[in-house]
Amino acid sequence: MIDALPLWLLVAIKSLVLLIIVITLFAYTMLAERKVLAYMQLRVGPNKVGPWGLLQPAADAVKMIFKEDLTPSTADPLIYRLAPFIAVFTALLAYAVIPFSQGEHGPWSIANVNAGILFVFAITSMGVYGISLAGWASGSKYPLLGSVRATAQMISYELAMTMSVIGVILQASTTSLSGIVEAQSRLWFIVPQCLGFLIYIITAVAETNRVPFDLVEAESELVAGFHTEYSGLRFGLFFIAEYINMITVSCLATLLFLGGWNGPGAAGHPLLGLLYFVIKVFAFLFFYIWLRGTLPRLRYDRLMAFGWKVLLPLATLNLLVTAIVVALWY
């Protein structure tokens, strides 16, 4: 029955389903963050709206929609309105190639492209435009400072991130995401690429501008950073983009280092594989929230020094060793 549908309709249906799943996941990641953070700080967290506060995201969404959408008089109106859309657009586009499980007819994804990992990096590297343009277009000093910081931070850490992943690509000798997962059917890449994994998770936190690397919106010095002037639904779009990026890097970490949908008994059972995949992604999201509950924010000069003088040389070393090992023994 599925084969009878035209390709464009199939892609449209897949995209729509995935969009709904990702947006729902965003809402509940946000709730989970508030709940987990609250328990870590010996509080209860949201518990009034619905059982255990489960309807809180809906209440938040309604609040966002009904708030007034303000544009500062000093802002550049066109870019100011465009920036949140760029942020969400690039965040969502990455899901076009991310596979979630392996079925009989190939991986469960919208498109299974050969340059999958490159596509994800290309798209996520464009995410920085949302933030930098938003800060510039606000026409106010704190957003501008926040966005300049964001730009410098994201392009610095992106380098180390890409370098850490090239080791995985070398070892799997493919750039297709499903191919990389298949290459891990015996041994997850977290074992041979443990240094790469470490660099990846650190840079991933920095790329998504989360604690302890959230200098972009350091509230003690920059009010709220790049989105100071935004309100209502446009602010909500930045929020959505941040959490979706979090989920994206968690998916990538699972695919590249934790064996994706591989697990005991998962071969030939796509649904079990999907379950393994989701568990691994959730473990990462929990790790993110745990970091936020534990670590203080870095100082800005230390952040840059750490990225350029520690992470990048380590990533280069990792790449070099991996390349030599792959060239000699594979």
Partner 1 sequence: MLVFVILAVALIASAIGVVSAKNPVHSVVALLANFAALAVLYLTLSGEFLAMIQIIVYSGAILILFVFVIALLGAGTSVGDLGPNRLGKVLTPTVIVGALALVVLGYALLHAQNPSGGGMLGAATVLPGLANQIPAVTITPGTEGAFGSIADFGRALFTTYLLPFELTAFVLLIAVIGVVVLAGGGAPERRKAAEREPIAKPERRMEPTR
Is residue 129 part of the contact set for partner 1 (CB under 8 A)? yes
Give the integer Cα–Cα distance in Å for 283 and 279: 6
Residue with Cβ nearer partner 1 (119 or 188): 119
Site for partner 1 (CB under 8 A): which residue of 101, 102, 109, 147?
Answer: 147
The site for partner 1, by CB under 8 A, has a size of 29
Give the integer Cα–Cα distance in Å for 234 and 214: 20
Residue with Cβ nearer partner 1 (146 or 260): 146
Site for partner 1 (CB under 8 A): which residue of 1, 2, 7, 78?
Answer: 78
Q: What six digits make up the tokens of 124?
A: 């996520």
Is residue 321 part of the contact set for partner 1 (CB under 8 A)? no
Residue with Cβ nearer partner 1 (47 or 112): 112
Q: How far is the CB of 290 from partner 1 (least distance, A)?
A: 30
Site for partner 1 (CB under 8 A): which residue of 36, 91, 133, 218?
Answer: 133
E strand intervals along the chain = 102-103, 106-107
Is residue 115 part of the contact set for partner 1 (CB under 8 A)? yes
CA 189, chain centre distance (Å): 20
Residue with Cβ nearer partner 1 (151 or 318): 151
Structural contact between residues 150 and 222, judged by C-beta atoms closer than 8 angstroms: no
Is residue 245 part of the contact set for partner 1 (CB under 8 A)? no
- Helical segments of 183-269, H only: 194-207, 219-222, 232-257
Stretch that binds partner 1, among 114-122, 242-250, 296-304, 309-317 (CB under 8 A): 114-122
Q: How far is the CB of 122 from partner 1 (least distance, A)?
A: 4
Residue with Cβ nearer partner 1 (114 or 185): 114
Is residue 244 part of the contact set for partner 1 (CB under 8 A)? no
Is residue 76 part of the contact set for partner 1 (CB under 8 A)? yes
Under 8 Å CB-to-CB from 193, ≥6 apart: which residues? 167, 168, 171, 257, 318, 322
User: What type of residue sits at position 66?
Assistant: F
| ω into 264 cis (within 30 of 0) | no
Residue with Cβ nearer partner 1 (118 or 224): 118
Three-class SS state of 330: coil
Which is nearest to 201 in space by CA: 157, 240, 148? 157
Give the integer Cα–Cα distance in Å for 78 and 242: 22
Give the integer Cα–Cα distance in Å for 155 and 119: 17
Contact residues for partner 1 (CB under 8 A)? Answer: 76, 78-79, 82, 113-115, 118-119, 121-123, 125-126, 128-129, 132-133, 135-137, 144, 147-148, 151-152, 155, 158, 175
